[in-house]
Amino acid sequence: MYLLDARFLFPALGGLLFGYDIGATSGASISLTSPELSGTDWYQLTSIQTGLVVSGSLYGALLGSILAYNVADRLGRRKELISAAAIYCIGSLVTGLAPNFPVILAGRLAFGFGIGLAMHGAPMYISETSPSKVRGTLVSLKEAFIVLGILLGYLAGSVEISTVGGWRWMYAFAAPIAIIMGIGMWWLPPSPRWLLLRAVQGKGDMSELTRQACEAFKRLGGGSSNITQEAVDLQVDETVKSLESLSRESESAQQSVWELFRGGNLKTLTIGTGLVFFQQVTGQPSVLYYAATILQSAGFAAATDATRVSVLLGVFKLIMTGVAVFNVDKLGRRPLLIGGVSGIVVSLFMLASFFVFGKGLSFLAVIALLLYVGCYQISFGPISWLMISEIFPLRTRGRALSISTLVNFAANALVALAYSPLQELLGAPLTFVGFGVIGIVALVFIVSTVPETKGLSLEEIEQQLFASKQ
């Protein structure tokens, strides 16, 4: 069963902790600033201080993404995820035990640092250790774990919201999950493809690293009884040949940042950064911000039911993510992206109409909201992370994926920062029309640029993308 597959489960806990932080912060920010519930004498935080607590992990994730560029290939995917688990644990405990605002902010930044490393390392480890026929399913399941984490965070918030100092438990609960993640990653072997990368680059004994890679392939394949030596040797030979071929293209630029902006590397970087950029700037934060308002105006929820509304949307997000997960290796990446983003565009224009014509179209607004959430979860949500884990060549994968992760979190921060000024300047209708136009641009980008990778090995994807550039 996919959920019990260790090569997926433990790396995916990094995504679950990312989602948990989003969900838990929703309740923790209320608890922390309540004179009755905070349990502190410094609960009177300014709006800026509250905003820093809420967004602190996001800015920590930006810093973690920057660090990943320089150290990820040296550490390897496994050690990067072990480090992320340790930082997650430290960040959650520091936040939960914080005696004052500066310490809680430090804890939030530390936890975000773990997010940056985990969201960089997990897609690589899962994609590099999974068979081609289920790679899409396993990497996409990480998105399901993010949504599951959000639901878990909402649940923790609803349980502890009435407890004095409950925000401490909401944040500290992430620590035991991080410990499980760290122990699990310690037990798993290194990525065999990363070991072969080190061997080809001359950063260790070739024969020893190749032997370790063979053992890792066997172990990840279920043991020597389930995978033949011939299959292992074939996979090793294919990976080494692919690495050596790409190395001959620009041997002198191997460690240069400019290598990422040349030839086939530029093409893959454009695809990867484009996907994660459009993932954020098509308005997801703003649409979800309006979710409670839209449902309330339609008569589905009162203001006091905001938490229930969030859980409802979270459950729907999880269901639709499951639709993507169990079809991505059947239908392919492009059909889900094209169909999903088309639905996003339609839903954004429907939402704009709702804010123009008011409550007369409340039912249409609810349909538009659910359409947006559903279409996002079968397209940009899981597929963007899947594609960036597949398309980059092994030799530059760590650095290219760190840039993509950085772009993702930076675009997220940009939308969060620009939302209020845009809404005040343009109004809600034009804001959603603007997001809809961006969605059309994203759709053109996908149709004209993004390749289909279904059923191909990582080495075959490299050869296809680089051959088409020559």
Look at the block and give the residue holding tokens 């190395």: 247
The CB-based long-range contact list for 438-442 (8 Å cut-off, 24+ gap) reads 438/278, 438/281, 438/282, 438/283, 439/278, 439/282, 439/283, 439/341, 439/344, 439/345, 439/348, 440/345, 441/278, 442/278, 442/282, 442/341
Considering the entire predicted model, what is its pTM? 0.81
Residue 253 confidence (pLDDT): 43
Identify the CA nearest to 123 among candidates 140, 110, 111.
140
Look at the block and give the residue holding tokens 């300047």: 425
Per-residue b or e along 256-292, where b marks 16 or more CB atoms closer than 10 Å to that residue's CB: eeebbeeebbebbbebbbbbbbbbbbbbbbbbbebbb
Q: How far apart are the two ends of the chain, measured CA to CA in Å? A: 41
255: CB partners within 8 A, 6+ apart: none
Token representation of residue 242: 């692919």
Residue 160 confidence (pLDDT): 83
Q: Which CATH number fits domain 257-470: 1.20.1250.20, 3.40.50.720, 2.40.30.10, 3.30.1180.20?
A: 1.20.1250.20
Residue 292 confidence (pLDDT): 57
Could you tell me how far CA 136 lies from the centroid of its own chain?
14
Q: How far apart are CA 98 and CA 106, in angstroms?
A: 9
Token representation of residue 181: 């993640």
Token representation of residue 276: 């994660």
Give me the count of residues in the chain. 470
Look at the block and give the residue holding tokens 């033949």: 228
Q: What is the DSSP string of 384-450?
A: HHHHHHHSS-GGGHHHHHHHHHHHHHHHHHHHHHHHHHHHHHHHHHHHHHHHHHHHHHHHHHHHHHP
Output the CATH code of domain 1-188: 1.20.1250.20
Span(s) in the chain for CATH 1.20.1250.20: 1-188, 257-470
Q: How far apart are CA 191 and CA 118, in angstroms?
A: 15
Residue 383's alpha-carbon distances to 217, 338, 359, 434, in angstroms, are 25, 11, 34, 23
Weakly modelled stretches of the chain, pLDDT under 50: 1, 223-225, 249-254, 301-304, 469-470
For residues 21 and 64, the answer to whether their CB atoms sit within 8 Å is no
Helix axes 397-449, 101-129, angle to 10 degrees: 70
Amino acid letter, 352: A
